[in-house]
Amino acid sequence: MVKILAFLLFLSFCYLQVLNPYYVDIKSIVYKDYIWTMNINKQHEQNLQSNNPDIVNATVRFEVLDKRVLHFKLFDKLKTRWEAPVLNPLPGADYKKVLMNTMGLTFTGQPFGFEISDPLSEEVFVSAMEYDNCSLNFTDKFIEFGLWFPAKSIFGLGERVTPDFKLCDGGEKCTYTIFSKDAQSPLDDGSHPGGKNMYGHQPFYLVHLLGNDLLGDKFVGVLFMNSNAQDVIIERTFASINVYHKTVGGIIDFYFFYPETPENVLKKYHSLVGRPYLPPFWALGYHQSRYGWKNLETVKKVVEKFDEEDIPLDAIWADVDYMDNYTDFTVDPVKYKGLPEFVDELHTKSMKWVPILGPGLRRNLSDTYYKSWVSQKALIQSARTKQELVGKGLADLVSFPDWLHPEATKLWHEGLSSLYAKVKFDGIWLDMNEVTNLCDGEIIVKKTASDPHDPTEFDQLPYTPGNVNLSKKAISLTGYHKAAKPEDEEFLKEFNLHSMWSIYEAEATHKYFEETKRRPFVLTRASFIGSGMFASKLLGDNFSKWEYLRYSIGGLYNFQMFGMPLVGADVCGFLGDADEELCMRWMQLGAFYPLTRNHNDANAKDQEPYRWPKVARASRNAIRQKYSILRYYYTKLFEVSANGGSVVRPLFFECPKDPKAHRKRNETFMIGPALMVAPVLTPKTSIVSPYFTNEDWFDLFSKKKIMEYYKHAIEGAIINITTDDYVSVFLKGGNIVPFQDATKAKIRRLDTLQYLPMEIVIAPDHNGTAKGNFIVDSQSSTNPLATKEYVNVEMEFLRKNLTLTVKNEGEYRACLLYTSPSPRDSCASRMPSSACKKKKKKK
Per-residue buried b or exposed e for 765-787, using 16+ beta carbons within 10 Å of the residue's own CB = beeeebbbbbbbbbeebbebbee
Q: Given this model, what pLDDT does residue 165 score?
A: 95
Cα 464 to its chain centre, rounded Å, is: 26
Cα distance between residue 625 and residue 730, in whole Å: 12
Residue range 647-664: mean pLDDT, rounded: 92
Cα distance between residue 509 and residue 120, in whole Å: 44
Is the pLDDT reported for residue 807 higher than 90?
A: no
Q: Report residue 85's pLDDT band, with 50, 70 and 90 as the boundaries.
A: confident
With beta carbons less than 8 A apart as the criterion, state whether 683 and 677 touch. no
Q: Is 158 helix (H, G, I), strand (E, B) or coil?
A: strand
Reported as a single tens digit per residue, the pLDDT across 465-485 is 999 999 999 999 999 999 999
Residue range 47-72: mean pLDDT, rounded: 89
Cα 174 to its chain centre, rounded Å, is: 22
With beta carbons less than 8 A apart as the criterion, state whether 556 and 567 touch. yes
Q: Report residue 816's pLDDT band, with 50, 70 and 90 as the boundaries.
A: low
Contacts with 98 (C-beta within 8 Å, 6 or more apart), sequence order: 34, 64, 66, 67
Q: Where are the beta strands (DSSP E) in 136-240?
A: 136-138, 143-149, 151-158, 173-178, 202-211, 214-224, 230-236
With beta carbons less than 8 A apart as the criterion, state whether 154 and 165 touch. no
Neighbours of 315 (CB within 10 A): 22
Is the pLDDT reported for residue 584 higher than 60?
A: yes
Is the pLDDT reported for residue 664 higher than 90?
A: no
Task: Output 14 or 562, whichever has higher pLDDT.
Answer: 562
Q: Given this model, what pLDDT does residue 72 score?
A: 96
Q: What angle do CA 524, 526, 528 make, to 5 degrees?
A: 110
Contacts with 303 (C-beta within 8 Å, 6 or more apart), sequence order: 313, 316, 346, 351
Q: Report residue 49's pLDDT band, with 50, 70 and 90 as the boundaries.
A: confident
Q: What angle do CA 283, 287, 288 make, to 5 degrees?
A: 160
Contacts with 403 (C-beta within 8 Å, 6 or more apart), sequence order: 409, 481, 501, 504, 505, 507, 508
Is the pLDDT reported for residue 1 higher than 70?
A: no
With beta carbons less than 8 A apart as the criterion, state whether 217 and 121 touch. no
Q: Given this model, what pLDDT does residue 842 score?
A: 34
Q: What angle do CA 732, 733, 738 make, to 5 degrees?
A: 70
DSSP state of 842: P
Q: Given this model, what pLDDT does residue 395 score?
A: 83
Is the pLDDT reported for residue 337 higher than 80?
A: yes
| Listed range (130-144, 208-222, 405-419, 675-689) with the worst mean pLDDT | 130-144
Q: Report residue 12's pLDDT band, with 50, 70 and 90 as the boundaries.
A: very low
Residue range 1-5: mean pLDDT, rounded: 34
Q: Given this model, what pLDDT does residue 809 score?
A: 76
Amino acid (1-letter code) at residue 361? L
Q: Given this model, what pLDDT does residue 203 score?
A: 98
Q: Given this model, what pLDDT does residue 20 score?
A: 66
Cα distance between residue 209 and residue 216, in whole Å: 6
Residue range 579-594: mean pLDDT, rounded: 98
Q: Given this model, what pLDDT does residue 826 score?
A: 46
Per-residue buried b or exposed e for 122-150, using 16+ beta carbons within 10 Å of the residue's own CB = ebbbbbbbbbbebbbbbbbbbbbbbbbbb
Residue 113's DSSP bridge partners are 108
With beta carbons less than 8 A apart as the criterion, state whether 207 and 241 touch. yes
Residue range 344-358: mean pLDDT, rounded: 98
Q: Report CA-CA distances (Å) from 630 to 558, 568, 637.
A: 22, 16, 10
Is the pLDDT reported for residue 199 higher than 90?
A: yes
Task: Output 238 or 797, whichever has higher pLDDT.
Answer: 797
Q: Given this model, what pLDDT does residue 110 score?
A: 85
Closest listed residue to residue 762, CA positions, set 698, 805, 706: 698
Cα distance between residue 261 and residue 217, in whole Å: 7
Task: Output 457 or 153, whichever has higher pLDDT.
Answer: 153
Is the pLDDT reported for residue 133 higher than 90?
A: no
Q: Is the pTM of this model over 0.75?
A: yes
Q: Given this model, what pLDDT does residue 298 score?
A: 98
Residue range 546-555: mean pLDDT, rounded: 97
Neighbours of 453 (CB within 10 A): 12
Q: Is 215 helix (H, G, I), strand (E, B) or coil?
A: strand
Task: Output 38 or 110, whichever has higher pLDDT.
Answer: 38
Residue range 592-599: mean pLDDT, rounded: 98
Q: Report CA-CA distances (Å) from 416 to 358, 367, 422, 428, 782.
A: 12, 16, 10, 9, 18
Cα distance between residue 154 and residue 308, in whole Å: 48
Q: What angle do CA 467, 472, 475 make, to 5 degrees?
A: 130
Reported as a single tens digit per residue, the pLDDT across 521-548 is 999 999 999 999 999 999 999 999 999 9
**3-state secondary structure string, 628-669?**
HCHHHHHHHHHHHHHHCCCCEECHHHCCCCCHHHHHCCCCCE
Task: Output 294 or 89, whichever has higher pLDDT.
Answer: 294
